[in-house]
């Protein structure tokens, strides 16, 4: 009995040990199974990454001329994010624009932003973000969002004269006053502590410095004689040299800017000048009547050829005395009663109608008549 009991007890002990091992094995397998199941259910979170951009920095002058960036590149090898955009901010991070593509960034005219500093960024983000809109600050955007490094765009304010419009003007140098009008200045982008208007010849030599547009419109361009004048507007800051009569506008030095120019062409045409003397009144009585004391002011007179003309009061040509002396030898008593007009004429090239019996008002060609002096024959 003792031996059987002892054997049985020994067997029972071994069976218990075996069951314990099996139970522990089941627990271990269960733990492994749970662990594997947990690994399969874990979601890997991928945060937005904007990558990096290169190019610039850029420096432009705010001068009314378009300024575009170029050559910007994006290294997106590490970029992550469902959505993307480019962001343009000021130097405080305030969002000025959200161009969707790099092409759109390169289409932005930074001159229109005025002076200051802009920053160009690239952004990637997942899901919904808040604050990614014009007028907000890029530093305050919330959500799964990332900004790249930035590229700086400096916009410097320089002296700018703006843009003129009006003209061009064309006048005849004929002794009659010629004034410009209708000139306008677009000073949207104009900048500078001081300003003036400048009139030059076509080589840039300074002929006048009218201080205002009103003063420009008071300049009589007929007095300048034939040629071409240019009208400019200028802005400048501080000291400049060469801004004076007789100097050349192309050689002015300092913080100075000229606008575009407006052309004033002054054509030399035939000009008879002016005559003075008389009027004369004679009696038709058989006694010779001669004029005297007539003078010609030929200061502005121009023309290859000249003559004196005597017409009736309707302009019909009665005589063509070649000189003033010949005019003074005309006996007006012989013409009978009526009114005669004495004129001086200058002309170039070929003209038609300048002959006895024709009308002086119908002469054609480069021809000019002076004022007339009346001779009344009672």
* Least trusted range by pLDDT, from 24-33, 172-181, 200-209, 247-256: 24-33
pLDDT digit string, tens, across residues 329-373? 999 999 999 999 999 999 999 999 999 999 999 999 999 999 999
Asked if residue 291 lies in contact with residue 277, where contact means CB atoms within 8 angstroms, the answer is yes
Predicted pLDDT of residue 218: 98
Q: Of 161, 178, 163, 206, nearest to 264 (Cα)?
A: 178
pLDDT digit string, tens, across residues 323-341? 999 999 999 999 999 999 9
pLDDT band, residue 65 (cuts 50/70/90): confident
pLDDT band, residue 34 (cuts 50/70/90): very low
Q: Is 159 exposed, middle or buried (0-12, 13-18, 19+ CB in 10 A)?
A: buried
Predicted pLDDT of residue 41: 53
**Which 3 state secondary structure label does DSSP give 106?**
coil
| 313 has pLDDT over 60 | yes
CA distance 226 to 174: 10
Angle at 107 between CA 80 and CA 65, to 5 degrees: 145
pLDDT digit string, tens, across residues 109-134? 999 998 999 999 999 999 999 999 99
Tokens 């030929």 belong to residue: 298
CA distance 105 to 92: 19
Q: Of 248, 206, 203, nearest to 228 (Cα)?
A: 203
CB-based contacts of 111: which residues, under 8 Å, 6+ apart?
60, 62, 63, 64, 65, 66, 67, 155, 189
| 5 has pLDDT over 50 | no
CA distance 214 to 221: 14
Asked if residue 128 lies in contact with residue 90, where contact means CB atoms within 8 angstroms, the answer is no
Q: E strands within 259-337?
A: 262-268, 274-276, 280-282, 295-297, 305-312, 317-319
In this prediction the pTM is 0.65
CA distance 31 to 23: 12
Share of the chain above pLDDT 70, in %: 88
Predicted pLDDT of residue 32: 35
């Amino acid at each position: 009995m003792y031996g059987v009991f002892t054997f049985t007890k020994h067997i029972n002990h071994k069976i218990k040990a075996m069951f314990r091992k099996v139970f522990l094995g089941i627990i271990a397998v269960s733990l492994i199974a749970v662990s594997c199941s947990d690994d399969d259910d874990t979601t890997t979170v991928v945060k937005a990454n904007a990558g990096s951009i290169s190019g610039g920095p850029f420096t432009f002058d705010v001068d009314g001329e378009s300024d575009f960036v170029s050559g910007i590149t994006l290294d997106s090898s590490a970029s992550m994010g469902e959505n993307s955009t480019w962001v343009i901010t000021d130097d405080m991070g305030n969002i000025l624009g959200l161009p969707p593509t790099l092409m759109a960034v390169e289409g932005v005219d930074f001159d229109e932003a005025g002076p200051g500093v802009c920053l160009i960024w690239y952004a990637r983000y997942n899901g919904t973000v808040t604050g990614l809109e014009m007028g907000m600050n890029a530093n305050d955007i919330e959500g799964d969002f990332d900004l790249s490094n930035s590229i700086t765009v400096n916009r410097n304010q320089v002296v700018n004269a703006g843009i003129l419009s009006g003209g061009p003007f064309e006048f005849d140098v004929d002794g009659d006053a010629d004034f410009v009008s209708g000139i306008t200045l677009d000073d949207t982008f104009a900048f500078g502590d001081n300003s003036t208007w400048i009139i030059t010849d076509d080589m840039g030599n300074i002929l006048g410095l009218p201080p205002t547009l009103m003063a420009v419109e008071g300049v009589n361009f007929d007095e300048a004689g034939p040629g071409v004048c240019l009208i400019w507007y200028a802005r400048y800051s501080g000291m400049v040299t060469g801004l004076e009569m007789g100097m050349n506008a192309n050689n002015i030095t300092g913080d100075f800017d000229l606008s575009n120019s407006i052309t004033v062409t002054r054509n030399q045409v035939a000009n008879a000048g002016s005559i003075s003397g008389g009027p004369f009144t004679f009696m038709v009585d058989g006694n010779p009547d001669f004029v005297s004391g007539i003078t010609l002011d030929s200061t502005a007179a121009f023309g290859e050829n000249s003559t004196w003309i005597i017409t009736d009061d309707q302009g019909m040509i009665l005589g063509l005395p070649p000189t003033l002396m010949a005019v003074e030898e005309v006996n007006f008593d012989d013409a009978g009663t009526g009114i005669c007009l004495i004129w001086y004429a200058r002309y170039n090239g070929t003209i038609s109608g300048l002959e006895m019996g024709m009308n002086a008002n119908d002469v054609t060609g480069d021809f000019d008549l002076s004022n007339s002096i009346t001779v009344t024959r009672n």
